Amino acid sequence: MTSLLGNTANRAEKYLEGLKTRRVSPSDEAVNNLKKLDVELPKKGWEPDRVISLLDEVGSPATVASADSRYFGFVIGGSLPTALAANWLAGAWDQNGVLYLTSPVTAVLEEISEQWLVELLGLHPGTAVGFVTGATMANFSGLAAARNVLLERQGWDVEAKGLFSAPEIKVVVGEEYHASMRKALGLIGFGRDRVIKVPVDKQGRMIAAKLPTVDELTIVCLQAGNVNTGSFDPAEEIIQTAKNAGAWVHVDGAFGLWAKASPKYAGLAKGLEFADSIATDAHKWLNVPYDSGLVFVRDRNALARAMTTSAAYLIESGRREGYFYTPEMSRRGRGIEIWAALLSLGRDGLAELIDRCCQLASKFANRMEEEGFTVLNDVVLNQVLISFGDTERTNKVTKAIQSEGTMWAGGTEWQGTTAMRFSVSSWATTENDIEKSVQAIKQVVESLD
């Protein structure tokens, strides 16, 4: 292949091939070299091959190899080959997902993905799905639907009148809620500091008995998958109480919601199907390329009413109009890769992906304990917290393993203890990667002694 796209595909393949042997974090040299991208903006543009060649030669080595099988940072997730390929084709299509009219193929793929996801995750039939950038915008969108519905029930049209002088909405969260929820609450006008925090247990789970009195002007925000421990709030107990009182229940399930796709782990997420809105990420555990988040709203009209405009120039076809379900109007067709990922995995493949990551996380935790290190959390899902002693020592080990390069895990703070956080969320990770990582950590610790 000698064409621009053919050459680029070769470069991309070579990059992915090279992940097996390169270090996970970029070297200091590679990062320093990024200044080579800052060429003087030419008066006359460069040839396409020259642009791509500079991008690859300088850019590729300076990437964090988060597509690699030994990247365990945050909860990032790899990219399934089929999903990546679909992403390339979608790039060539350059579709605008705003309307059926601007892209029938995007609308149809999102309609199919919506049905597949709702069924796979055991959610209420007819639930609407919005294809957004990530869990933060999914949390934002779910909260927007909640705000509109609760205030509408009080006779207040928040779209028209805004929040000033509106009946006051109470927001309940667990003490270990994610920073993304705090951001979304701020964006939606609820204020980051107005929340009522429910105490949590040692795994970060809300204590159901400590739920405050809730009513028809309350949004209860649960978490499915704590970013540190992987634990789940007790949805079954809380959702029933909240819904009986007329409250809205929103769930931040950025990665934990995917447990529902696995018969083995679905028990952790029991009861979530009764929530009014749920946020999750497809770029995390479904392993589609960045960026891709999903909001599920049980009452489809609630999401549509919170997101639509009524501009007269918008011709509606009676088909799925993407922008009815998202804050954006123009946007890329995220459902394209989701459709491809689900079709290439199948039901069993998705369940197997979830199970494998969880089993590898358990394996890692067991091996670390065997080597004499301390696991701080109950490893119920794919997240593992390791302590190497006091704060200074743990930070030292985390920093040293990052620069050593065999694997990458980040640092975190868990209920007052500093830890290394390890997340298994890629299709590519194998037992061999776990063992290699354990050995690398062991060596780093030995070299510090």
Ligand X SMILES: *Cc1c(COP(=O)(O)O)cnc(C)c1O
Nearer to ligand X, 239 or 397 (CB): 239
The dihedral through the CA atoms of 266, 268, 274, 277 has a sign that is negative
Least Å from the CB of residue 7 to ligand X: 32
Least Å from the CB of residue 127 to ligand X: 20
Nearer to ligand X, 134 or 333 (CB): 134
Nearer to ligand X, 223 or 394 (CB): 223
Nearer to ligand X, 220 or 397 (CB): 220
Interface with ligand X by CB under 6 A: which residues? 75, 134-136, 178, 180, 225, 227, 252, 254-255, 281, 293
Torsion angle in degrees (nearest 10) through CA of 312, 313, 319, 320: -90
CA distances from 120 to 83, 117, 279 (A): 18, 5, 15
Rounded-to-integer distance, Cα 138 and Cα 54, Å: 36
Least Å from the CB of residue 25 to ligand X: 20
Least Å from the CB of residue 234 to ligand X: 16
Least Å from the CB of residue 391 to ligand X: 23
Least Å from the CB of residue 178 to ligand X: 4
Least Å from the CB of residue 432 to ligand X: 27
Residue 433's SS3 state is: helix
The closest residue (CB) to ligand X is 134
Buried b (16+ CB within 10 A) or exposed e, 97-122: bbbbebbebbbebbbbbbebbbebbe
Nearer to ligand X, 151 or 358 (CB): 358
Nearer to ligand X, 11 or 183 (CB): 183
Rounded-to-integer distance, Cα 408 and Cα 25, Å: 7
CB count within 10 Å of CB 316 equals 11
Nearer to ligand X, 136 or 362 (CB): 136
Backbone φ, ψ for residue 411 (5° rounding): -100, 155
Beta strands in 282-405 (DSSP E): 293-297, 374-375, 383-387
According to DSSP, residue 111 is labeled H
